Amino acid sequence: MLRIIKIIFWALVAMLALWELPWCYNFFFTGGSPSVPFTLYSSVVGEFAMLDHNDKKFSYSDRTGREYTEEQFDSILPMFYYHQLVTDGRFPETICGVSVTPRQIQISNFNYRIEPAELNKPQIGLYQMLETMSGRVDLVLPDDVFRLTDTGIEFIDMATNSVNEKKSKAFTDMMLSKGFRFPAHRIAGNPTDRKEYDEGYVMLDADRKLFHVKMTKGRPYCRAIELPEGMTPEYLYITEFTARTMLAFVIDTEGGFWVVNRPSYDVVKTGLPAIDPNEETLLIMGNMFDWTVTVRDDVSRRYYALSASDYSLLDSLIYDTPSDAIKGLDFTSHKDKFVRFR
């Protein structure tokens, strides 16, 4: 008996050693991943442009090795530094042969981040459906929430904690009539009043068919979005950018990255290589000419330039960022918000 207990004791000690010793080594003896320069694709020079910071000095260059002054750097990235160009009176009349105004740039620019930890975290399973056409400038949070059940959608009045049968039936009937099969496989929305407009939710039904569901003037709106042949969507991200030219991003089961355009509901595949949103962080910095997509994982930082018009791949650049950290037993990870042995 005592032998078994001693085995338990030493197993617990071994578990703690595997957990804490690598952590101590990494904390005291490793320097983390090497830093990489700030990188954006420039449609003006047709290359990736880099801003680096070494020995308290900034250096500006592009991938071909051309060096730039700070002012020249502003000019080759006019969509990013347009405020500075306007302030200096250097804002050009045309960019890449297209006549643009600072206001157009402001509207078309967007940043979007996709993080594994946002995907893999505990979900409560209650959502808010905002009114998308209230007729007012400011969005207002609703006084109910909804849950998705095996047989329909259920709205719960927050003041009374009771199901609003009439509204639930109206939405369920509308969704069923559009071919939605419960239970839903996935749902994505951005239920906040701190945005310019609301597009409700994109959902995958039990057959992985894609739907757009929202509330307009108190009534349900549901639209089935036709998917290209052979594409199976897995992860959804609603965009709600100022330009209103896109509805959502979709990542399929093969890691392909797709854009759902608005208002046509066309689903267009981008030129991005396969990505894994459970393991990799994506940062998309878009403008009216190009998108710079940064994909970061444990060992590299990859930059992809996409055309903003057809989402084709223009260029790519990969920085290796190997880590000398040693791996031990762990319970948490920056890639999710769950505690477990890993």
Contact residues toward another protein (CB under 8 A) are 1-2, 4-6, 8-9, 12-13, 16, 19-20, 121-122, 124-128, 141, 143, 145, 147, 156, 158-159, 161, 191-192, 331-332, 337-341
Rounded CA separation 316/154 (Å):
46
Q: How far is the CB of 10 from another protein (least distance, A)?
A: 11
Q: Which is nearer to another protein, 158 or 326 (CB)?
A: 158
**Alpha-carbon distance values, 154 to 145, 147, 165, 173, 186 (Å):** 8, 5, 8, 11, 16
CB closer to another protein out of 271 and 328: 328
Q: Tokens standing for 31?
A: 């320097």
CB of 332 to another protein, least distance (A): 5
Residue 149 CB, shortest distance to another protein, in Å, is 11
Q: By C-beta, is 14 or 299 nearer to another protein?
A: 14
- Residue 284 buriedness (CB in 10 A; 0-12 / 13-18 / 19+): buried
Residue type, 62: D
Q: CB–CB of 10/18 below 8 Å?
A: no
Q: How far is the CB of 18 from another protein (least distance, A)?
A: 12
Q: Which residue, 125 or 228, has its beta carbon nearer to another protein? A: 125
- Residue 341 CB, nearest approach to another protein (Å): 7
Distance separating alpha carbons of residues 62 and 250, to the nearest angstrom: 31
Distance in Å, CB of 193 to another protein, minimum? 10
Residue 113 neighbours by CB distance under 10 Å: 12
Least CB distance to another protein at residue 156 (A): 6
Identify which of residues 121 and 223 has a Cβ nearer to another protein in the complex.
Answer: 121
The DSSP secondary-structure symbol of 335 reads T
DSSP assignment of 199-259:
--EEEE-TT--EEEEEEETTEEEEEEEPPPTT--EEEEEE---TT--EEEEEEETT--EEE
Q: Give burial (CB, 10 Å; 0-12/13-18/19+) of 157.
A: middle
Minimum CB distance to another protein, residue 2 (Å):
6
> Which residue lies nearer to another protein by CB, 143 or 196?
143
Nearer to another protein, 252 or 336 (CB): 336
Buried b (16+ CB within 10 A) or exposed e, 117-149: eebeeeeeeebbbbbeeeeeeebeebebbbebe
- Nearest CB to another protein, comparing residues 88 and 143: 143
